[in-house]
Structure 1
Amino acid sequence: MSVLATCLGFPRIGSDRELKKALESYWAHKTTDADLQASARALRHRHWVAMKDAGIDHVPSNDFSLYDHVLDTAVMLGAIPERFRAIEDATVRYFAMARGLQDPATHTDVAALEMTKWFDTNYHFLVPELAPDQAFTLDPSRVLVEIDEARAAGVEPRPVLLGPVSFLRLSKLTHAEPDQTPLALLDALLPVYERLLGLLATAGIGWIQLDEPCLVTDLDDATRDAYRVAMTRLAGWAVRPNVVLATYFGDLGDNLALAVGAGFEALHVDLVRAPAQLDDVLRALTSATSPTILSVGVVDGRNVWRTDLDAAHARTRTAVAQLGADRVWIAPSCSLLHAPVDLQRERALDAELQSWLAFAVQKLGELRALADAASSAAFSCRAAIPRSRGPRRSGS
């Protein structure tokens, strides 16, 4: 069996910044909500086709956002603060949560959600606001619609979901007692995730990607317990797709046993930010009772430089040698959201500089080339991706 090439997510902006232009036009009341949604559909279609044409075996869906994927998750889960609920139009309400809403004619002055950094990246996300007695209600429409769109584009998608524990850890409680944390809402939240998993299975989805980036952070006992509860519940849910538990931006460290023991079918690790964890991960997987697939994040999803293909190939070969080709996937370290879209659009760049660059589309080619070469001791695609040796640029 051959090693698969997979992708954790793709940039939203568009190769010509189409999303930015569509949003600015909508916000200026020059175009309608229908126009905005049409632009978004066109971008999603283009990105899915680009990944399919590049030979990506697992193509993500539900990674696109008009503004922020954490906000999208909050809306999907019904976590809409009280001050926004009187806004009837869903799109207007969504952007009010993102940007605030001021309308002197109606005496409306609603503050946006707080924004903060997405881990140590330059991306900023909107912090969900949860009440101590928060009730969660599932709205799966966006996830399911994008599945239909992807299939119409000839792609069988792998939906991306922000996991329940990371969602709660990244949220804040309003009007809470001093000792209360969002993790107290886990029991209320998990049934919504269980229902969503069931709906995705009913829709015929074979794999989903469950992002739990907080697994690479230092966890207190309460968070570790929350992870054990959540993963036991979700992994044991009777009707669900296969799950790849995705971690990124660092080393699993003391949380490795927690991730390996989650009970899911695959585990993604970041081997760009934390290459030294590979040996520990392989040791844990080879001694585990179930044959978990390892998704090796060997192409940097956060920078603009070409991958050191020799080093990436060596790490992949190490994994294949210990687990077998059927248990290894090639992937970027994290979502390609953080990279520009397509180097071919940058016509004014110096030729020498351009020869060292790889944007999202070019990184797809690297993923496919590494997957094709994974079963060979010698790296065999030098002609396909030249200049892979040479000075490395740091700064992810």
Structure 2
Amino acid sequence: MTIFNHILGFPRIGFQRELKIAQEMYWSKKISKIKLKKIGKKIRIKNLKTQQKMGLDFLSVGDFSWYDHVLSTTMMLGNIPKRFMTSNNKIDIDTLFYIARGVSDHNNSTNPSEMTKWFNTNYHYIVPEFSTDSVFNFSWKQLLKEIDEALLIGKNIKPVILGPMSYLWLGKTYEVNFNRFDLLDKILHVYKIIFSCLKKKGIQWVQIDEPILSLDLSPVWKKNFILSYNYLKCNINILLTTYFGNISHNLDIIKEIPIKGIHLDLVSGNYNLSELKTNFSQDIVLSLGIVNGKNIWKTDLLKYYFLIKKILKYRDNIWIGSSCSLMHVPVDINQEKKMKTELKVLFSFAVQKCYELYLLSNALNINKTDLLESWILPLLSYNNIIKNNKNNDIQDKILNLKTKDYKRKNSYKIRYKKQKNKLNLPILPITTIGSFPQTKDLRDLRSSFKEKLITKKEYKKKIFKIIKYNIIEQEKLNIDVLVHGEPERNDMVEYFGENLEGFLFTDYGWVQSYGSRCVKPPIIYSDISRVSPITLDWIKYAQSLTKKPVKGMLTGPVTILLWSFPREDISHKTIATQISLALKDEIYDLEKNGINIIQIDEPALREGLPLRDIDKKKYLDWAINSFKLTVSDVKDSTQIHTHMCYCEFNDIIQSISDLDADVITIETARSNMEILACFKNFKYPNSIGPGFYDIHSPNIPKEIDIIKLIKKSMKIIPIKKLWINPDCGLKTRTWIEVKYALKNLVSATLKIRSILS
């Protein structure tokens, strides 16, 4: 008996974000398509050789993508929306980028497909589009090319493919009375062809990801799941892969389909030993996800050694793997040269997680634990680090919180009147979400300050100059509520982490968020507190330049938590409460210094929602309370905004209402205001700012199109509660794009105002 190891996927961005750099150079026409593909191949080869070097038994292939893996599946299945097809029906890498980013030229523009969050992560995917006449065919053969590359490196190749049922679930249609199951036979036919091609290449195992098995599936979905996999039955061994939760409630599906293996996420799934013992047939491989693919702490390998030893008493076919793809963690901790050694040894990035799987499988195979004991030794010393950094003041504050600490003084109806009198804003007030373009000069400036090439005084003077420019440009555009543009911020979470106690930072801890967009999540390793004001100097200066209100800009507690790598010894609720108390102090200082509008962004609120209905209320209760605790002490006349983007809001609209923010801005532009449909039946009590400009596409919205969207919104949202804004921050756009887009946004709004007046 041998225990095999594998991962569900490796980060695709490259050790030095080579993919991001290459993508953006290609989009700006600085490199050729041939050069781009060479860089992609180089990344894939290095990833495979790294897995091999770290001792993995199976090498994952097909986990690479040029933008995101769902879009890669769309390409593989030939499901190309008609508006992106050329006259000769040829599809290539440009087609993929057009679907993701849209097409824009002097005469016309084509909107990109929608983008939304990948289950409960900060990763985004391009939503597949379905229609009654959707065509499916295996015309994009990128996977086969990657398999050929991998076969030159090692024999045990395991292709990774998103499953047909999850793909069908993730897509959407704009047609009325459309039944997506009418497309299932067409989709399955392509999968059958793909499996046949894999078999000809000598592939023994294929990993089919079906993450929707962690969801609550209706009887019709379960029925079609069983029918689909019985149809796909072939001579290749299917490892059905699930993650992000427990699938015990869907075991009736597993028992009815002809698979050779099942992967379970033991990290987030909370399975118990009896479930593993009784619910899975002895003749299928049981793959156990024991290395956390969503966090960066070392794995307690000794704990899993003894767990698997118990399982081995009643079954032989055991593999061990990562809980999910490692694309959600940085690539290699060894690149962090500046991190203190006593902290660095606590963490495992993707490369180290591969090695952890080797260590554990080897220990199980030779029956020795000495290497495991050495590996987890730093985790035992972590308790001393926590003791030394314990903040008794914060812990006492949490213990003394009362119900009244989670409520504002008066209702929105009362607050609205006071804010109207104080702010004196026009009807349909125009604002932006917070950030303005992060130019190369600005990034170089922050880098120079970080590397101590310029003094703090010089740095502050130059940042003030950029803020002044941002304010002047907004006033020229005739925007009503201004922002300082966030030039001092590298990232909306990392910046706050840098200015709070309890956070640790990396230099190369990049993780893909979508396409070429990478983020560098901070690490929460001890109690969190605020030592001094974080944003006050920047916002005060911006407000001193104008008579118009300038928004204070903060990132909310849930988003800071979920977009960091959190500690694992205390609950998420406790961490979020610590952050809330720190932000509460920041808001007090802003308000005291005359800032009358404060925006607390919570784009991660929806993504933290558990996948099963039974678990959602518990999460929403503490998540909503975290936000309310942050703002509970502000004056009635201080207007609180919040922002959310790229999520499905319909199922948590009541919870969003419970936040009791005076104004909520949401993403709607990319979906043609589709999200607003939920407000037809749910009468949202406070003010709403739908996004009228899709900032994730280089396309410039036309004035006439914005007017149509505003008119559409006015039919659903009362005019006195409607705000006008882009759907997200503008940091990823160029100033040329931003100025043209905002000019059209303002002119469209002014025309609507003139009609209303």
Q: With structure 2 as the length reference, what TM-score do the two structures score?
A: 0.49
Tell me how far 1:313 sits from its aligned partner.
1.6
Tell me how far 1:97 sits from its aligned partner.
0.5
1:66 corresponds in structure 2 to 66
Q: Secondary structure at the match of 2:371?
A: coil
Tell me how far 1:377 sits from its aligned partner.
6.0
Which sits farther off after the overlay, 368-377 or 195-204? 368-377
Q: Secondary structure at the match of 1:269?
A: strand
Match of residue 218, structure 1, among 192, 216, 219:
216
2:21 corresponds in structure 1 to 21
1:366 corresponds in structure 2 to 356
1:115 corresponds in structure 2 to 115
Give the direction of change, closer, same or farther, for the CA distance of 1:252–1:187 in structure 2 (3 Å limit): same
User: Which fold has the larger relative contact order, with Cα–Cα distance below 8 Å and residues 6 or more apart in sequence?
Assistant: 1
Tell me how far 1:282 sits from its aligned partner.
2.6
Q: Which amino acid aligns with 2:185?
A: D
- CA distance in structure 2 between the partners assigned to 1:108 and 1:378 by the alignment: 66
- Residues 117-140 of structure 1: CA deviation (Å, up to 9, x unaligned): 100011111100011232211125
Q: Secondary structure at the match of 1:382?
A: helix
Tell me how far 1:349 sits from its aligned partner.
1.5
The question of whether the paired residues in 2 share the 8 Å contact of 1:307 and 1:366 is answered with yes
The question of whether the paired residues in 2 share the 8 Å contact of 1:232 and 1:262 is answered with yes
The question of whether the paired residues in 2 share the 8 Å contact of 1:251 and 1:277 is answered with no
Tell me how far 1:278 sits from its aligned partner.
4.5
1:343 corresponds in structure 2 to 333
Q: Secondary structure at the match of 1:322?
A: coil
2:319 corresponds in structure 1 to 329
Q: Secondary structure at the match of 2:226?
A: helix
The question of whether the paired residues in 1 share the 8 Å contact of 2:48 and 2:153 is answered with yes
2:4 corresponds in structure 1 to 4
1:232 corresponds in structure 2 to 230
Q: Secondary structure at the match of 2:191?
A: helix
Q: Which amino acid aligns with 2:304?
A: A
- Residues 174-229 of structure 1: CA deviation (Å, up to 9, x unaligned): 3231xx34233212211111111111101111110000000010001111011111
Match of residue 292, structure 2, among 300, 309, 318:
300
**What pairs up with 1:1-396 in 2 under 5 angstroms?**
1-86=1-86, 90-104=92-106, 107-139=107-139, 141-177=141-177, 180-235=178-233, 237=234, 240-285=235-280, 288=281, 291-324=283-316, 327-375=317-365, 379-382=369-372, 385-387=375-377, 389-390=379-380, 391=382, 393-394=567-568
- CA distance in structure 2 between the partners assigned to 1:346 and 1:149 by the alignment: 30
Tell me how far 1:318 sits from its aligned partner.
2.5
Tell me how far 1:143 sits from its aligned partner.
1.2
Q: Secondary structure at the match of 1:186?
A: helix
- CA distance in structure 1 between the partners assigned to 2:35 and 2:211 by the alignment: 34
The question of whether the paired residues in 2 share the 8 Å contact of 1:5 and 1:56 is answered with yes
Tell me how far 1:350 sits from its aligned partner.
2.2
Which sits farther off after the overlay, 142-151 or 307-316? 307-316
Q: Secondary structure at the match of 2:314?
A: helix
Q: Which amino acid aligns with 1:62?
A: G
* Higher CA-based Rg: 2
The question of whether the paired residues in 2 share the 8 Å contact of 1:298 and 1:312 is answered with yes
Which sits farther off after the overlay, 309-318 or 116-125? 309-318
- The alignment-based identity, stated in percent, is 36
Q: Which amino acid aligns with 2:146?
A: E
- Residues 259-306 of structure 1: CA deviation (Å, up to 9, x unaligned): 243211111000000132443133112xx3x60010000000111110
The two structures, once aligned, show a CA RMSD in angstroms of 1.9
- Residues 350-371 of structure 1: CA deviation (Å, up to 9, x unaligned): 2222111100000011000110
Q: Secondary structure at the match of 1:385?
A: helix
Q: Which amino acid aligns with 2:145?
A: V
- CA distance in structure 1 between the partners assigned to 2:114 and 2:105 by the alignment: 20
- CA distance in structure 2 between the partners assigned to 1:52 and 1:266 by the alignment: 22
- CA distance in structure 2 between the partners assigned to 1:232 and 1:359 by the alignment: 38
The question of whether the paired residues in 2 share the 8 Å contact of 1:270 and 1:333 is answered with yes
2:463 corresponds in structure 1 to none
- CA distance in structure 2 between the partners assigned to 1:133 and 1:322 by the alignment: 50
Q: Which amino acid aligns with 1:271?
A: L
- CA distance in structure 1 between the partners assigned to 2:371 and 2:196 by the alignment: 41
- CA distance in structure 1 between the partners assigned to 2:307 and 2:139 by the alignment: 40
- CA distance in structure 1 between the partners assigned to 2:352 and 2:140 by the alignment: 32
Q: Which amino acid aligns with 1:309?
A: L
The question of whether the paired residues in 2 share the 8 Å contact of 1:45 and 1:150 is answered with yes
Tell me how far 1:171 sits from its aligned partner.
0.5
Q: How many residues get paired?
A: 384
The question of whether the paired residues in 1 share the 8 Å contact of 2:345 and 2:378 is answered with no
The question of whether the paired residues in 2 share the 8 Å contact of 1:101 and 1:112 is answered with yes
Q: Which amino acid aligns with 1:113?
A: S
Tell me how far 1:20 sits from its aligned partner.
0.9
- CA distance in structure 1 between the partners assigned to 2:229 and 2:94 by the alignment: 35
- CA distance in structure 2 between the partners assigned to 1:204 and 1:251 by the alignment: 33
- CA distance in structure 2 between the partners assigned to 1:100 and 1:203 by the alignment: 36
Tell me how far 1:75 sits from its aligned partner.
0.7
In structure 1, the gaps of 5 or more residues are: none
- CA distance in structure 1 between the partners assigned to 2:113 and 2:99 by the alignment: 6
Give the direction of change, closer, same or farther, for the CA distance of 1:158–1:201 in structure 2 (3 Å limit): same
The question of whether the paired residues in 2 share the 8 Å contact of 1:3 and 1:328 is answered with yes
In structure 2, the gaps of 5 or more residues are: 384-566, 573-607, 609-757
Q: With structure 1 as the length reference, what TM-score do the two structures score?
A: 0.92
Give the direction of change, closer, same or farther, for the CA distance of 1:377–1:55 in structure 2 (3 Å limit): closer
Give the direction of change, closer, same or farther, for the CA distance of 1:311–1:260 in structure 2 (3 Å limit): farther
Q: Which amino acid aligns with 2:180?
A: P
- CA distance in structure 1 between the partners assigned to 2:229 and 2:367 by the alignment: 37
2:599 corresponds in structure 1 to none
